[in-house]
């Protein structure tokens, strides 16, 4: 028997194994990755589902809308986040006088045209849909003063706007503001709206587009929804509601108001 060969053979299981400090760095990193992979993957999936749910909710039901200017003061302040009810006019309802609405101003307040890089536009739209960033420059929030068929005139002897011959006292106007410094006498075409800001001296609204092809009228199908609540900041949580200032206005002769 070759005893020398027996002495030189070594049991592989008896070979000393490296301790934790001696293990290769990549092996330790791989073990840590496997340990964290499960929880982090679940958290990422849950976050993705939450974002998708919020985007769907914002697209179809209620969308947060960040107020970027003072054109609707004192009703809405800069930095308010209003909750826009997208179902208000999609279940048989139509905008009414006194409603505060959010609408896409393309084709009425701004010209249709190049809207920039598609990817950048998508990112901005996603942020705006979650109320994290300012809305697109083509989105506006105003109050409905005239609907299809209405004759809206500024102003009577007391400086009030008249709708279908009825003077309207507007309690929501910014203190010190006149109903309008710009005289007008218009008839709102069917399927469109005449909209004004509550802070008339600081609002770019239907009056500023009187001489343009659309005449300052906003198509009803461009309305995104009705601003029903102020959701943020918490100290301003309240219902925006529809003003009853137009309760005494009769329907237009031959119109649908």
User: Going by C-beta distance under 8 Å and a sequence separation of 6 or more, which residues neighbour residue 8?
Assistant: none
Strand partners, 208: none
Which residues are catalytic, by number? Answer: 71, 142
Give the residue among 142, 143, 120 at the shortest CA–CA distance from 133.
120
Distance CA 72, CA 69 (A): 8
Asked if residue 197 lies in contact with residue 109, where contact means CB atoms within 8 angstroms, the answer is no
Structure tokens belonging to residue 193: 């709206």
Residue the block writes with tokens 């697109």: 136
């Amino acid at each position: 028997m070759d005893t020398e060969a027996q002495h030189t053979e070594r049991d592989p299981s008896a070979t000393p194994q490296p301790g934790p400090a001696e293990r290769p760095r990549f092996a330790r990193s791989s073990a840590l990755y496997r340990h964290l992979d499960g929880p982090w993957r679940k958290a990422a999936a849950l976050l993705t589902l939450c974002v998708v749910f919020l985007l769907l909710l914002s697209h179809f039901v209620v969308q947060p809308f960040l107020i970027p200017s003072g054109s609707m003061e004192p009703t809405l302040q800069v930095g308010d986040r209003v909750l826009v009810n997208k179902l208000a006019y999609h279940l048989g309802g139509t905008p009414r006088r006194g409603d505060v609405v959010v609408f896409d101003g393309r084709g009425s307040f701004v010209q249709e045209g190049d809207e920039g890089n598609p990817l950048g536009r998508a990112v901005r739209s996603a942020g705006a849909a979650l109320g994290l960033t300012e809305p697109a420059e083509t989105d506006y929030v105003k109050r409905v003063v005239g609907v299809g068929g209405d004759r809206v005139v500024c102003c009577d002897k007391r400086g009030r706007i008249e709708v279908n011959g009825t003077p309207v006292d507007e309690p929501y106007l910014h203190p010190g503001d006149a109903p309008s410094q710009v005289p007008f006498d218009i008839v709102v075409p069917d399927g469109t709206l005449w909209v004004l800001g509550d802070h008339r001296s600081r609002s770019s609204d239907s009056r500023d587009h009187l001489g343009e092809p659309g005449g300052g009228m906003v198509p009803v199908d461009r309305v995104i929804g009705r601003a029903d609540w102020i959701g943020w900041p918490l100290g301003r949580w309240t219902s925006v509601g529809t003003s009853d200032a137009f309760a005494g206005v009769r329907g237009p002769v031959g119109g649908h108001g």
